[in-house]
Amino acid sequence: MPRIHESGTSYDSLGCKDRRAQLFWSYLTDEVLCLTRSEDKPRWGQPPWRIDFEAEARPLPEEIDVAIIGGGFTGLAVAAWLRRLAPEKTVAVLEAQRLGAGASGRSGGLALGDTAAGDLPGLGDVLGGFTDILRELEVDCDQRLPGVWEVGHSNASPDSPIEWRDSGALRIVAEVPGGTVDPGKLVSGLARAAHRHGAIIAEHSPVREITSNDPVELAVPGRVLRARQVLFATNAQSLELSDLVGWAQPKFTLAVATRPLREDELEALGLRDRKAFYTVDLPYLWGCVLPDHKVVWGSGLVHVADWRELDSIDVSAGRPAELLASLERRVRGLHPVLRDVKFCHRWGGPILIAESWQPVFARHPRCPQALILGAYSGHGVALSVYLARWAAEALLGQRELPDWGKLQR
């Protein structure tokens, strides 16, 4: 079992002499130390995306204004927007592995409005805000928003171009706002924007322990970094640090991509318009057509009791491999065009599901100088970037946090 140290058990490892520190907590475990060594999680498979941003190694200063923990869409977008609003603030993104190593570099790339729980009071226009932020930050991620099809087993639209067999007939039932991005380009573009605006980006910098002093002390390998404010953008991992153990469920979800399909094959599938799709009833399925005509299909959840189990998931073995094989069988059965189709990518990644499927966007219960943003329940592509702008404003004291983001304790 992993060892969780609470309350001062390794104060000295932090170099922290102040025994009056209000709080100390850590998650030093053998599994985590191993996690930080495993490059890019090859056992989680290879998605079709490429992250081409290389963070230049720079020494971290002793003290900074804002430390952002996690280098996915959320952390990178907050860093970029914060520096854009307040170039005088020192901001660092601390990423345990490589940028995009969590969900962001492995996402499906469907950009959808609202949240997994639908619209929420005061949420605003997620897709419009997402588009504005990408434009302002000059992020080119092949964003296309032609609409997304909802598909289902009943109430089909009479002129549905999609006619698939999947536990009955699967057809289009509605169209909603949205579209797709290339997640690799989104990670790279946000990282470039953060870097261009002067944020420090430190890969291979897992935060292992935190002391809620003022400033907050963060233990990164070999040293302690002090930060006046902190943002937790750690999603399904490090749940002790973000204080989400027991309050949000980490899961692992899966996807595959076919070989590039010919134009006539896409036409036969009803995908000539390259619209992304997801089912509104069960069994769940989502997908999209890539610019090179590969088709991505996603479904399936691996349940874990503890987030550390995510690290040992291997998509070529056990339950994840069974779920991927079943997804491939299912895709081949959808339409004669797909009967013998080859799959060239199989992968998965973590998601975090909070209560009522609402994102967590709250002050840290045990560290008043810290915010937590995440738990998008598999619906975080546009939402993470959109809420990142809000989080940057909140860190600067320019905006209140939304009531719906509070931890329901």
- How large is the angle between the packed helices 381-395 and 183-196, nearest 10 degrees? 20
- Residues between 265 and 304 that touch ligand FAD (CB under 6 A): 298
Strand intervals (E) in 129-282: 148-152, 164-165, 169-176, 178-180, 200-202, 209-211, 216-220, 223-232, 248-258, 276-279
Task: Give every CB contact of residue 251 below 8 A, 6+ residues apart in sequence.
Answer: 236, 301, 302, 303, 304, 350, 351, 352, 353
Which helix (H) or strand (E) segment holds residue 302: the answer is: strand 295-303
Among 64, 67, 78, 107, binds ligand FAD (CB under 6 A): 107
Largest CA distance in the chain: 71
Nearer to ligand FAD, 94 or 200 (CB): 94
CA 393 to chain centre: 21
Distance CA 81, CA 388 (A): 8
Distance CA 245, CA 301 (A): 19
Nearer to ligand FAD, 110 or 407 (CB): 110
CB of 264 to ligand FAD, least distance (A): 26
Contact region for ligand FAD (CB under 6 A) — 3-11, 60-68, 92-100, 138-146?
A: 92-100
Among 143, 229, 237, 279, binds ligand FAD (CB under 6 A): 237
Contact region for ligand FAD (CB under 6 A) — 162-170, 322-330, 370-378, 390-398?
A: 370-378
Nearer to ligand FAD, 69 or 262 (CB): 69
Distance CA 198, CA 210 (A): 25
- Residues between 44 and 83 that touch ligand FAD (CB under 6 A): 69-75
Contact region for ligand FAD (CB under 6 A) — 10-18, 59-67, 134-142, 342-350?
A: 342-350
Which DSSP category does 69 fall into? E
| Site for ligand FAD contains 207 (CB under 6 A) | yes
Nearer to ligand FAD, 218 or 269 (CB): 218
Task: Give every CB contact of residue 62 below 8 A, 6+ residues apart in sequence.
Answer: 225, 226
Contact region for ligand FAD (CB under 6 A) — 5-13, 79-87, 228-236, 310-318?
A: 228-236
| Site for ligand FAD contains 349 (CB under 6 A) | yes
| Site for ligand FAD contains 96 (CB under 6 A) | yes
Residues that bind ligand FAD (CB under 6 A): 69-75, 94-97, 101-104, 106-110, 112, 206-207, 233-235, 237-238, 241, 253, 255, 298, 348-351, 374, 376, 378-381, 384
